[in-house]
Amino acid sequence: MQLRPHHILDIISNFGKGAEFQPHPYGHSLHIVALKLLSDLDLKIKLVLNADDICKECKHLMPDGKCNDVLGQLNPSPSKQAYNDVLDCRLFDLFALKINTVLTLRKYLEMVNDNVPGIERICTHPKEDQENRLKGLMAGLIKLGVRKPI
Ligand code: SF4
């Protein structure tokens, strides 16, 4: 499975907050990918810096493989493609991982856990509460058995 590093963090954080993964109006595959990930930590994932398995079927995925969506929570609204690329580059840098690294989800989440707290300063989205993001990540990692409960 090919995934952007931050898309996995979005799933773990939302899972920790108790979100249910339902089909989205964009048509993307987040709900399908989330269930696969959360049910098998030994799944092999390829960390990519481009459209990933979540983007499949999304109405914003253009034929050239780029995302034409924007960050609507900001005005003016920047390109989501550029925003995602910068965010994921920061995560590749934090983990000292090369683009297209293949590893198990468990291994990746252990690396995430080693950077909690702290990683929320990178992966919190604009207008999202940083503390809430951190709480979601920690709760998600605990629910998946990657992090010990406090
Ligand atoms: S990054 Fe863009 S193409 Fe991918 S799921 Fe999100 S909106 Fe759709």
pLDDT in tens, 31-69: 999 999 999 999 999 999 999 999 999 999 999 999 999
Domain contains 78: yes
Considering the domain boundaries, does residue 150 fall inside one?
no
Cα of 150 from ligand 1 centre, angstroms = 35
6 Cα: distance to centroid of ligand 1 (angstroms):
12
Inside any domain, residue 97:
yes
Residue 85 predicted with pLDDT over 90: yes
Q: Which residues contact 4 (CB under 8 A, 6 or more apart)?
A: 47, 48, 49, 50, 52, 54, 84, 88
* Number of domains, the chain: 1
> 105-113 and 5-16 are packed helices; what angle lies between their axes, rounded to 10 degrees?
70
Mean predicted confidence (pLDDT) in 110-116: 98
User: Residue 99: which pLDDT band, with cuts at 50, 70 and 90?
Assistant: very high
Average pLDDT over residues 75-97: 98
Give a yes or no: residue 116 inside a domain.
yes
Q: Is 48 in the pocket of ligand 1 (CB under 6 A)?
A: no
54 occurs within a structural domain: yes
Question: Residue 77 domain-assigned?
Answer: yes
* pLDDT value at residue 150: 79
pTM of this structure: 0.97
- Reported as a pLDDT band with limits 50, 70 and 90, residue 130 is very high
Q: Which of 2, 31, 55 best tests ligand 1's pocket when mutated (most atoms within 8 Å of CB)?
A: 55
Residues 90-119, mean pLDDT to the nearest whole number: 98
Instruction: Evaluate whether residue 148 is within a structural domain.
Output: no
- Counting residues of the chain whose pLDDT is more than 90, the rounded percentage is 99
What is the CA(132)–ligand 1 centre distance, in A? 23
17 CB contacts (<8 Å, ≥6 apart)? Answer: 132, 135, 136, 139, 140
Mean per-residue pLDDT for 109-113? 98
**What per-residue confidence (pLDDT) applies to 138?**
98
Check if 28 has its Cβ closer than 6 Å to any atom of ligand 1: yes
Whether 149 maps to a domain, the answer reads: no
**Residue numbers of the domain that contains 25:** 2-143
pLDDT at 97: 98
Mean pLDDT of 102-118: 98
